[in-house]
């Protein structure tokens, strides 16, 4: 199968030029202006005139088919990766969970089983670590060396479920100094939050907004600073996931100004939504219950500046959808029982293009860098993924910068009964999406195949500060 994309404006993290792209099977094999048709005969030609051609989006933070609080996230690897493809994302890195008393091997097998035969685009896994004895340290090495699982997520929040203590964090960090892996941190002070939640419940403060009011941004700032200090003492890099507040960003910025390899991602919800959403009538605030919570609106500007100035390196989604019916409803009488998470896997590129590029907060090159190139570099997928180059995977998005879309349950494809951006009109969206040389989205239709996505064994990541 061969594919020719003509007349497109190719955008990578560093370049912006007009050329044709020829893909043979799953690989880009030629790029050039007016590729001669006798040498580059394609089974299919796509005319990208007037459109951008971007490297496929890489979402390094998704939770498909994930158990949480007595229920399971509403998208599995089939529906979730199809929705991702609609949104121009062609690779995801999801999280396998090593529960206490279980091995990482068991967790990886379990999550690969969830994805196999279902995923429509390529996928990889981080390993969530909830305990780390000596055997676990050796398993970390094996995950990095033999399984292509080169990153580990630890939690400073959710006591009794995911939270680990500083000693465990320090052990994990030190081990990555030897095996070359990367620790990703959920940085919120779980002890403080737990106290505030108990107090709120005791006082009868049970509506959704108290989810946000019991998770102050200071708790995120404190944990972010502590995580970075632990990494500094261990002499290794660290990556903060879903950074939501100015308090936390300040810690990352300070560290980077000192030359420390501290990195962080943020997510569209923290750029486009705010605490005000929790004040929506009735139980509607539950739609936005996620951790960290949405912050006051002024944090948004600070985060955008962080993205522009490279204090933040990545935009991921933390896609973890729960329906209002039967799922979010579990917490109707008690916010602490509302499953944490919201949908976003499909709307990342459109939102960031509209609110970032069109509003001139970031450049087109930076848009690609944040949504594809740096994610690939950070997590060991570059240059196979994350750029448009001869030899790279043919994961491409033909993106129409003028196409208008109204975001909402009816127009989107995530398997969830609400959308946080319902009714928002965005300009710019993918018209054709190619994954591994196969067209998966064509004229607004999914034409890919479930199960066609491949498990990606990752290298160790490399990013220069």
By the criterion CB under 5 A, which residues form the site for Zn ion?
318
Looking at the Cβ atoms of 157 and 246, the one nearer to Zn ion is: 157
Cα separation of 195 and 193, whole Å?
5
Q: In the bound complex, what is the minimum distance in angstroms from residue 80's beta carbon to Zn ion?
A: 13
Pairing of strands 52-55, 396-406: antiparallel
Q: What is the CA radius of gyration of the chain?
A: 21
- Helix (H) / strand (E) element for 367: namely helix 364-368
Q: In the bound complex, what is the minimum distance in angstroms from residue 40's beta carbon to Zn ion?
A: 42
- Tell me how many degrees the CA angle 271-277-280 measures, rounded to the nearest 5: 165
Cα separation of 264 and 95, whole Å?
17
Looking at the Cβ atoms of 318 and 369, the one nearer to Zn ion is: 318
Token pair for 418: 């609400």
Q: In the bound complex, what is the minimum distance in angstroms from residue 63's beta carbon to Zn ion?
A: 6
Looking at the Cβ atoms of 130 and 429, the one nearer to Zn ion is: 130
Q: In the bound complex, what is the minimum distance in angstroms from residue 95's beta carbon to Zn ion?
A: 7
Looking at the Cβ atoms of 40 and 322, the one nearer to Zn ion is: 322
Looking at the Cβ atoms of 20 and 59, the one nearer to Zn ion is: 59
Supply the DSSP symbol for 144: I
Looking at the Cβ atoms of 222 and 318, the one nearer to Zn ion is: 318
Q: CA of 182: how far to CAs of 103, 169, 209, 217, 375, in Å? A: 19, 12, 34, 25, 13
**Chain centroid, CA 185 distance in Å:** 14
Looking at the Cβ atoms of 59 and 318, the one nearer to Zn ion is: 318
Distance between start and end Cα atoms, the chain:
39
Mark 162-177 as b/e (b = at least 16 C-beta within 10 Å).
bbbeeebbebbbbbbe
Q: How many CB atoms lie within 10 A of CB 41?
A: 11
What are the start-end ranges of the H helices in 149-215? Answer: 166-179, 190-202, 209-213
Looking at the Cβ atoms of 128 and 364, the one nearer to Zn ion is: 128
Closest CA to 318 of 32, 33, 60, 7: 60
Closest CA to 114 of 191, 43, 62: 62
Pairing of strands 57-62, 89-98: parallel
User: Which residues, 6 or more positions from 108, have their beta carbon under 8 angstroms from its beta carbon?
Assistant: 96, 125, 127, 143, 147, 149
Maximum CA pair distance of the chain? Answer: 76
Q: In the bound complex, what is the minimum distance in angstroms from residue 265's beta carbon to Zn ion?
A: 10
Of all residues in the shown chain, the one whose CB is closest to Zn ion is 318
Q: In the bound complex, what is the minimum distance in angstroms from residue 248's beta carbon to Zn ion?
A: 15
User: Which residues, 6 or more positions from 188, have their beta carbon under 8 angstroms from its beta carbon?
Assistant: 156, 157, 215, 219, 220, 223, 291, 292
Q: In the bound complex, what is the minimum distance in angstroms from residue 319's beta carbon to Zn ion?
A: 8
285 touches 277 (CB < 8 A): yes
What are the residues facing 53 on neighbouring strands? Answer: 10, 398
Cα separation of 199 and 192, whole Å?
11
Looking at the Cβ atoms of 28 and 157, the one nearer to Zn ion is: 157
Q: In the bound complex, what is the minimum distance in angstroms from residue 292's beta carbon to Zn ion?
A: 10
Looking at the Cβ atoms of 5 and 264, the one nearer to Zn ion is: 264
Q: In the bound complex, what is the minimum distance in angstroms from residue 28's beta carbon to Zn ion?
A: 31
Cα separation of 136 and 126, whole Å?
15
Q: In the bound complex, what is the minimum distance in angstroms from residue 279's beta carbon to Zn ion?
A: 24
Q: How many CB atoms lie within 10 A of CB 134?
A: 8
Cα separation of 136 and 108, whole Å?
14
Q: In the bound complex, what is the minimum distance in angstroms from residue 338's beta carbon to Zn ion?
A: 15
Looking at the Cβ atoms of 318 and 393, the one nearer to Zn ion is: 318
Q: In the bound complex, what is the minimum distance in angstroms from residue 339's beta carbon to Zn ion?
A: 12
Looking at the Cβ atoms of 71 and 179, the one nearer to Zn ion is: 71
Token pair for 150: 């080169």
């Amino acid at each position: 199968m061969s594919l020719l994309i003509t007349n497109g404006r190719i955008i990578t993290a560093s370049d912006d030029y007009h050329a044709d792209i020829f893909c043979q099977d799953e690989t880009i094999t030629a790029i050039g202006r007016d590729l001669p048709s006798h040498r580059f005969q394609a089974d299919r030609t796509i005319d990208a005139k007037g459109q951008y051609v971007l490297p496929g989006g890489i979402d390094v933070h998704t939770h498909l088919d994930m158990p949480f609080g007595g229920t399971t996230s509403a998208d599995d690897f089939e529906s979730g990766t199809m929705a991702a493809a609609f949104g121009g994302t062609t690779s995801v890195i999801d999280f396998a969970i090593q529960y206490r008393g279980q091995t990482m091997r068991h967790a990886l097998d379990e999550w690969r089983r969830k994805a196999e035969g279902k995923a429509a685009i390529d996928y990889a896994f981080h390993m969530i670590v909830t305990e780390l004895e000596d055997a676990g340290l050796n398993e970390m090495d094996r995950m990095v060396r033999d399984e292509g699982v080169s990153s580990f997520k630890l939690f400073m929040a959710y006591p009794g479920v995911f939270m680990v203590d500083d000693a465990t964090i320090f052990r994990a960090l030190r081990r990555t100094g030897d095996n070359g892996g990367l620790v990703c941190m959920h940085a919120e002070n779980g002890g403080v939050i737990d106290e505030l939640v108990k107090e709120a419940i005791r006082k009868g403060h049970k509506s959704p907004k108290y989810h946000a009011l019991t998770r102050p941004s200071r708790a995120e700032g404190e944990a972010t600073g502590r995580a970075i200090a632990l990494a500094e003492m261990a002499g290794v890099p660290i990556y903060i996931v879903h950074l939501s507040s100015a308090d936390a960003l300040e810690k990352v910025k300070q560290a980077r100004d000192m030359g420390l390899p501290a990195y962080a991602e943020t997510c569209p919800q923290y750029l486009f939504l705010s605490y005000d959403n929790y004040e929506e009538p009735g139980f509607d605030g539950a739609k936005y219950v996620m951790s960290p919570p949405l912050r006051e609106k002024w944090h948004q500007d600070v985060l955008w500046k962080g993205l522009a100035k490279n204090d933040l390196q990545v935009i991921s989604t933390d896609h973890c959808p729960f329906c209002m019916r039967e799922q979010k409803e579990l917490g109707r009488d008690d916010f602490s029982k509302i499953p944490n998470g919201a949908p976003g896997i499909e709307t990342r590129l459109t939102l960031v293009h509209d609110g970032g590029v069109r509003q001139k907060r970031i450049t087109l090159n930076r848009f690609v860098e944040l949504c594809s190139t740096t994610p690939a570099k950070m997590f060991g997928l570059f240059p196979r993924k994350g750029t448009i180059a001869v030899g790279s995977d043919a994961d491409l998005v033909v993106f129409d910068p003028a196409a208008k879309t109204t975001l909402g349950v009816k127009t989107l494809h995530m398997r969830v009964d609400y959308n946080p951006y319902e009714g928002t009109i965005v300009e710019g969206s993918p018209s054709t999406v190619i994954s591994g040389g196969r067209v998966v989205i064509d004229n607004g239709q999914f034409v890919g195949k479930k199960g066609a996505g491949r498990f990606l064994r990752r290298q160790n990541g490399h990013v220069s500060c």
